[in-house]
Chain A
Amino acid sequence: MDKFVTHTGKAVALDLANIDTDQIIPKQFLKRIERTGYGEFLFYDWRFTPGGELIEDFVLNRPESVGVSVLIAGENFGCGSSREHAPWSLLDYGFRVIIAPSFADIFYNNSLKTGLLPVRLSSDDTAILTQRANSLPDHEIRVDLEASRISDNKGFSANFEINEFRKYCLLNGLDDIGLSLQYESSISAYEQSSRQNQAFLAFSS
């Protein structure tokens, strides 16, 4: 996972609640066995016609959206399936930060594990940033993860909450598996004691 320390970038707003993982990355693209290359399929049914033509008035397809890296969305972003392909496709497309009033649990977790930063802001703050992203061509958002602070170049500033441990992992680009394996002796001890105490629960065959 890449480190996430600070990020500054142009934002785009999808002002809809309950944007689900089937919209973020439709199922026909989940058959690949790779971890990369999903960006071109992001929001596929919203970006392209059934014939594969670009839908020009969809916000991501407009000329002013070139180079965006911050996505602002409505509440319960990422609801639905556990497909990690959702954060993979957002990252691969170029997004580093998703701002919403709330996120679905699995999507939120998956994002943190891939280096995509989900930021929960109040509905009012989200609305302010949505309005600015939609109307100000030179609008830019800056995220400082160390300070848990989000600001823009028009005077907006707010703190956001993030689990301290998750923050530490993102700031240092740490691999969860490596961290958990530090507790190898605890895992082995747990297995030994549960095997002794609850041998009756083993799978028969």
Chain B
Amino acid sequence: MKTLFDKIWDAHIVHSEPEKPALLYVDLHLVHEVTSPQAFEGLRLAGRQVRRPNLTYATVDHAIPTKNRNLPFADPIAAKQVETLRQNCKEFGVPFFDLDRIEQGIVHVFGPEQGLTRPGMTIVCGDSHTATHGAFGSLAFGIGTSEVEHVLATQTLPQTKAKNFLINVEGELPFGVTAKDVILAIINRVGTAGGTGYVIEYGGSAIRSLSMEGRMTVCNMSIEAGARAGLIGPDESTYEYLRGRNLSPKGDDWVKAVEYWRTLPSDTGAAFDRTVAIDANELSPFVTWGTSPEMSVTISDRVPDPAAIGDDNKRRSYERALEYMGLEPDRNIESINIDRVFIGSCTNSRIEDLREAAKVVQGYKISGSVNAMVVPGSMQIKRQAEAEGLAAIFQDAGFEWRDAGCSMCLAMNDDVLADGERCASTSNRNFEGRQGRGGRTHLVSPSMAAAAAIVGHFVDIRDWKFKEI
């Protein structure tokens, strides 16, 4: 009896011997501008080629501007980085979705959208949020630049097998509680290093009832619980999502593919090294208050008091976080005013996220004291949202409507928080300075971020007055 992770692992061993990492075959390698230039340069210096350019796909997302793309980049260093990827893809024959392509977007958004991401695959990318693709039942994990070079050269990676960790979320998610709240609750429970050394499989009825977009949100933040990979067994929702995508198998190949994918889910009774159970019925919308994704409370809670923490290290980290965040202990979460709202990132920038946020925004204007932006995950999503009328809802309310990219999730471009600015963000990390030096990030779901934009402070989405027009 094997887990989903065991099955994918076993099917990809190219070579193994005792006491050594196994050499694992890589089915799909996604490449972006920030973690690849040194890898391509390494290939050139060693006179090596990209072994399988047809299993390698590149796009630009991290450092690019999300507005005025018809103009030259304001940042010459970012411009050079993007140009370097363009040239590298040309030189090594790697398919490249450039800024003018409808496919262009965040690596973890465009892969599934184009049908590149499939069940049973091994997928790597020089980005820690690669686990996003695990939503399809693939083994997907982030790698460093040396490993990017290794995969480019050999289409394999030496890997030591991680342990199996099952997180079961059983029950029905209450109204207003989203996939984002599920993963924030999980990280809150297991801690930011709780998944270190493990591959997490998310199971249970609440996970199975999530859409593929929701599953991607959950798997995306596995690294925030310390796990390099997180995955979910493929099922009918998975196949429905993939059917007919640009690069998905077609015709007879599709039938054979689904037949194969049906063999992948963990066997009943397969052994996990660790199991955690979460009751979906008990979950509430979450808001992070600190500088680690584990530092979160529900919207009806208060900021914790470090004085109540027994452990010295933990108390110090709480005190430091509160000082950085400019918050006092016992502060009511709903009383926290915000300056900025960011709806976007590989965690929450897909069409479903935008629909959820738009439902909240419809018929309202954003608060006069808030600057808010929506950054779709790909240009395809941007066009779809425009066709569905979502863009108009956001723009009428006062949101900026941008082009696709990572944007203020990591603030490598000019979408940056100013010192002291406080942001309700649908992204994945609330580290010190993540969205700009001195910037204060609160991680929330798209609907909670949208509501905060309108009211100017956090509110409980479960009490929201939706306006149907």
The answer to whether A and B interact is yes
Q: Which residues of A pack against B, CB within 8 Å? A: 16-18, 20, 22-23, 26-28, 30-35, 45, 50, 74-76, 79-84, 87, 102, 104-106, 109-110, 113-114, 163-165, 176-177, 179-181, 183, 186-187, 190-191, 194, 198-205
If over half of B's interface residues share one DSSP class (helix, strand or loop), that class is named, otherwise mixed; here it is loop
With A16-B316, A18-B317 known, 16 other A-B pairs at CB within 8 A are A22-B434, A28-B412, A79-B193, A82-B144, A84-B35, A84-B38, A106-B128, A113-B147, A176-B158, A177-B150, A187-B23, A200-B252, A200-B254, A201-B257, A204-B247, A205-B247
| Minimum Cβ distance to chain B for residue A79 (Å) | 6
Indicate the member of B34, B51, B78, B81 with the most A CB atoms within 10 Å. Answer: B34
Which residues of chain A are near B314, meaning CB under 8 Å?
Answer: 17
**Does B20 sit at the interface, judged by CB under 8 A?**
yes
- CB within 8 Å for A82 and B77 given contacts A22-B431, A105-B196, A180-B23: no
Kindly report which residue of chain A lies nearest to residue B154, judged by CB atoms: A180
CA A23 – CA B51 in complex, angstroms? 35
Contact of B433 with A81 in the complex, beta carbons under 8 Å: no
A35 in contact with B38 given A106-B228, A186-B23 (CB within 8 Å): yes
CB of B196 within 8 A of CB of A104, answer yes
Q: A177-B149, A183-B15, A183-B23 are known contacts. Are A82 and B317 too (CB-CB below 8 A)?
A: no
A201 proximity list for chain B (CB < 8 A): 27, 118, 249, 253, 257, 260
Q: Does B68 contact A (CB under 8 A)?
A: no
Residues of B within 8 A of A176 (CB): 146, 150, 158
- Check A31/B48 contact, CB under 8 A, given A22-B434, A106-B144: no
- Minimum C-beta distance from B141 to chain A (A): 8
Interface flags for B47-74 (1: CB within 8 Å of A; 0: not) read: 0100110100000001100000000000
Chain B residues, CB < 8 A from A35: 38, 41, 145
Which residue of B48, B142, B145, B320 has the most chain A CB atoms within 10 A of its CB atom? B145
B380 at interface by CB-CB < 8 Å: no
Q: Give bound CA distance, A30 to B77, whole Å.
A: 10
Closest-by-CB residue of A relative to B317 is A17
Contact, CB under 8 Å: A23 / B147? no
* Beta-carbon contact of B37 and A33 below 8 Å: yes
Produce 1/0 per residue, B379-412, CB < 8 A to A: 0000000000000000000000000000000111
Q: How far is the CB of B50 from chain A (nearest CB, A)?
A: 12
In contact, B248 and A104 (Cβ under 8 angstroms): no
Known A177-B46, A200-B253; contact A31-B63, beta-carbon cutoff 8 A: yes
- A23–B433 CB distance below 8 A: yes
Interface membership of B80, Cβ < 8 A: yes
List 11 A-B pairs, Cβ < 8 Å: A16-B316, A31-B81, A35-B41, A80-B431, A81-B127, A104-B196, A163-B21, A181-B154, A183-B23, A186-B23, A187-B51
B193 near A106: Cβ-Cβ < 8 Å: no
B144 touches which of A23, A31, A45, A83 (Cβ 8 Å): A83
- Cβ A105 vs Cβ B256 within 8 A: no
Contact check, B412 vs A27: say whether CB atoms are below 8 A apart: yes
With a cutoff of 8 Å between Cβ atoms, the chain A residues found around residue B192 in the complex are 18, 76, 79
Q: CA A205 – CA B253 in complex, angstroms?
A: 13
User: Chain B interface (Cβ within 8 Å of chain A)?
Assistant: 14-15, 19-21, 23, 25, 27, 34-35, 37-38, 41, 46, 48, 51-52, 54, 62-63, 75, 77-78, 80-81, 84, 115-116, 118, 126-128, 130, 142-147, 149-150, 153-156, 158, 160, 162, 192-193, 196-197, 223, 226, 228, 246-250, 252-254, 256-257, 260, 292, 313-314, 316-317, 320, 410-412, 419, 429, 431-434, 437-438
Please determine whether A82 and B25 come into contact, CB atoms closer than 8 angstroms: no
Nearest-neighbor residue (CB-CB) of B434 within chain A: A22
Residue of B nearest to A198 (CB): B260
Give the chain A neighbours of B292 by CB distance below 8 A. Answer: 18, 20
9 nearest A-B residue pairs (beta carbon): A110-B144, A33-B37, A84-B144, A200-B253, A82-B142, A113-B146, A200-B256, A84-B145, A76-B193
Shortest C-beta distance, B212 to chain A (Å), equals 19
CA of A31 to CA of B52 in the docked complex: distance in angstroms? 26
Q: Is the CB of A22 within 8 A of B429?
A: yes
- Cα distance, A106 to B429, chains bound together (Å): 16
Q: Which residues of B contact A75 (CB under 8 A)?
A: 193, 313
Chain A residue numbers with a CB within 8 Å of B115 are: 203-204
Question: By the criterion CB–CB under 8 Å, are A33 and B253 in contact?
Answer: no
What chain B residues lie within 8 Å of A27 (beta carbons)? Answer: 410-412
A residues near B250, Cβ cutoff 8 Å: 204
Is the Cβ of B437 less than 8 Å from the Cβ of A26? Answer: yes
Question: Cα distance A36–B123 when bound, in Å?
Answer: 28
* A33-B128 Cα distance, complex, nearest whole Å: 19
Check A82–B150 contact: CB distance below 8 A: no
In the complex, chain B residues whose CB is within 8 Å of the CB of A34 = 38
Measured between C-beta atoms, what is the minimum distance from B229 to chain A in Å? 10
- In the bound complex, residues from chain B placing their C-beta under 8 Å from that of A180 are 23, 150, 153-154, 156, 158
Question: Given A31-B63, A186-B14, is A204 in contact with B248 using a C-beta cutoff of 8 Å?
Answer: yes
User: Given contacts A31-B34, A82-B35, is CB(A165)–CB(B21) below 8 Å?
Assistant: yes
Q: Is the CB of A110 within 8 A of B146?
A: yes
Q: Is B193 within 8 A of A82, CB to CB?
A: no
Q: Is the CB of A109 within 8 A of B412?
A: no
Q: How far is the CB of B20 from chain A (nearest CB, A)?
A: 5
CA distance A138 to B260 in the complex (A): 64
Specify the chain A residue showing the minimal Cβ separation from B57. A203
The residue that A187 contacts in the complex, of B77, B156, B160, B249, with Cβ under 8 A, is: B156
Q: Which residues of chain B have C-beta atoms less than 8 A from A33's C-beta?
A: 37-38, 41, 80-81, 84
CB of A204 within 8 A of CB of B63, answer no
